[in-house]
């Protein structure tokens, strides 16, 4: 029995969906432990494309799939996602999907406030998806959130709603917007409660009992480590902790139940939204990376910013999450390049540093120090083992391993599930 946590080591969009799908065949339970429906995971199965936001990726493999207490849930988005997946032929039953009774809800006023506040920031916009995730997490920390359990307890719901609306209506009044009416919120919560109730359970006990039964558990994160609320490029970050430690907190278990941490790492770098990006390529090379890699957001459709691999950043996030090995994804996107650059340091104030600055203002000033490697200009797709890869592709991987101080455990060479080279199985 082995429990594995999956985290992104960059700014998200590293290809976690495919890797979780690949590993879920070896898992018995898959747990989503943070984020909301701003996440986007694409899975290709039998030439059918599944796009998930809230549902754990393991659900496509009909594995017990848990939405943990660390997730903020838009109930309408979840219901729509379930209906969409069911139209593709997969029935989502309460036996298959489990929702934590402690997870917090995203309500219509969270989305309204999210967009209102973002639109007042002008050039200082964070780049939020406007889905209410940030305000929902703020309510959680402010102790005024409506949780899943409050759907079925009118007394606790009433107290939480009074606290939430007292806070939010002051803000709306200041923005000359209509106040939220408690009766309207209660009405929609009453409507949603019976739909979600069959899926709701004490997921903490379920995870612990699964562990005691020697079942393999896969903990699935969303976004990437550089979007972590504490350790990312603050304030251009998401509203939750995205590092591996959150897999315990966001699931209701102790950290000793996490046996292995796998970092998902793209063979180059991308970012959606605003914020620092040292290796960004605002040129034809960046455009080509985006075109070959189909770099558009799964949820928003927004074009991703593209750049070379940043070894300094990935080394930092590996240390943050105590990562044992990485799954290197989208290696095939680099197949046609004659030369490939890797960032091995940052230059700032005429000094070279090999650490990530704490302040985004400092990060905006740094210039990447590159090392140039020869490309392989051969297809890596359909390679079934490390030995089958082109010589220069192997050299690229070995160089990355040395720079990030972490072994490559898996290599993905296309969106197809079978185009995956396993070097070291995380479920050992």
Which residues carry out catalysis?
13, 41
Which tokens belong to 55?
A: 């549902």
Dihedral over alpha carbons 319, 321, 326, 330 (to 10 degrees): -100
Q: Per this entry, what is the length of the chain?
A: 428
Dihedral over alpha carbons 389, 395, 397, 399 (to 10 degrees): 180
d(CA 125, CA 273): 9
Q: Is 29 in a helix, a strand, or coil?
A: strand
Q: What residues have CB less than 8 Å from 378, skipping those under 6 apart? A: 335, 390, 393
Q: Does residue 323 contact residue 316 with C-beta atoms inside 8 Å?
A: no
d(CA 202, CA 100): 6
Q: Is 283 in a helix, a strand, or coil?
A: coil
Neighbour order of strands in the sheet with 64-67 = 200-201, 97-100, 64-67, 29-32, 217-220, 3-8, 260-266, 325-329, 408-412, 420-422
343-354 b/e with 16+ CB inside 10 Å = b? bbbbeeeeeeee
Among 98, 18, 16, smallest CA distance to 63 is for: 98
The secondary structure element, H or E, covering residue 49 is: strand 48-52
| Vertex 185 angle, CA 180 and 191, to 5° | 160
Q: What residues have CB less than 8 Å from 45, skipping those under 6 apart? A: 21, 60, 417
Which tokens belong to 47?
A: 């030439």
Among 198, 174, 237, smallest CA distance to 78 is for: 198
- The full DSSP string for 199-264 is GEE-HHHHHHHHHHTT--EEEE--S-GGG-TTTSSTTSS-SS--STTHHHHTTT--GGG--EEEEE
The single-letter DSSP state of residue 154 is: H
């Amino acid at each position: 029995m082995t429990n594995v946590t999956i985290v992104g080591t960059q700014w998200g969009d590293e290809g976690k969906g495919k890797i979780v799908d690949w590993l879920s065949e070896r898992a018995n339970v898959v747990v989503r432990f943070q984020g909301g429906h701003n996440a986007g995971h694409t899975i290709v199965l039998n030439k059918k494309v599944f796009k998930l936001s809230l549902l754990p990726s393991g659900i496509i493999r009909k594995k017990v799939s848990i939405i943990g207490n660390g997730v903020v849930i838009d109930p309408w988005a979840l219901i729509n996602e379930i209906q969409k997946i069911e139209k593709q032929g997969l029935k989502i039953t309460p036996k298959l999907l489990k929702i934590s009774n402690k997870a917090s809800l995203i309500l219509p006023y969270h989305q309204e406030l999210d967009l209102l506040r973002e639109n007042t920031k002008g050039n200082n916009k964070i780049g939020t998806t406007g889905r209410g995730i940030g305000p929902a997490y703020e309510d959680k920390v402010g102790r005024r959130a409506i949780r899943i359990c409050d759907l079925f307890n009118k007394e606790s719901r009433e107290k939480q709603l009074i606290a939430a609306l007292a806070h939010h209506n002051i803000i709306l009044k200041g923005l000359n917007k209509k106040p939220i009416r408690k009766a309207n919120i209660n009405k929609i919560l009453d409507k949603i409660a019976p739909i979600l109730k069959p899926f709701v359970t004490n997921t903490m006990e379920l995870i612990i009992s699964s562990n005691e039964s020697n079942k393999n558990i896969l903990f699935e994160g969303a976004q990437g480590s550089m979007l972590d609320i504490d350790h990312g490029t603050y304030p251009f970050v998401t509203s939750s902790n995205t590092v591996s430690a959150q897999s315990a907190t966001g699931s209701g278990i102790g950290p000793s139940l996490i046996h292995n941490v796998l970092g998902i790492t793209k063979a180059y770098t991308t970012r959606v939204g605003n914020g620092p990006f040292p290796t960004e390529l605002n040129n034809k090379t960046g455009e080509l990376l985006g075109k070959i890699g189909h770099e558009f957001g799964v949820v928003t459709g927004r074009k991703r910013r593209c750049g070379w691999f940043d070894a300094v950043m990935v080394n930092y996030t590996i240390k943050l999450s105590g990562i044992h090995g990485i799954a290197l994804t989208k290696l095939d996107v680099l197949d046609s390049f004659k030369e490939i650059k890797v960032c091995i340091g940052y230059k700032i104030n005429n000094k070279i540093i090999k650490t990530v600055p704490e302040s985004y203002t400092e990060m905006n000033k740094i210039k990447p120090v590159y090392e140039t490697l020869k490309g392989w200009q051969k297809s890596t797709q359909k390679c079934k083992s490390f030995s089958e890869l082109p010589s220069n592709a192997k050299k690229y991987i070995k160089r990355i391993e040395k720079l990030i101080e972490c072994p490559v455990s898996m290599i993905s060479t296309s969106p197809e599930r079978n185009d995956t080279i396993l070097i070291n199985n995380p479920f050992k």
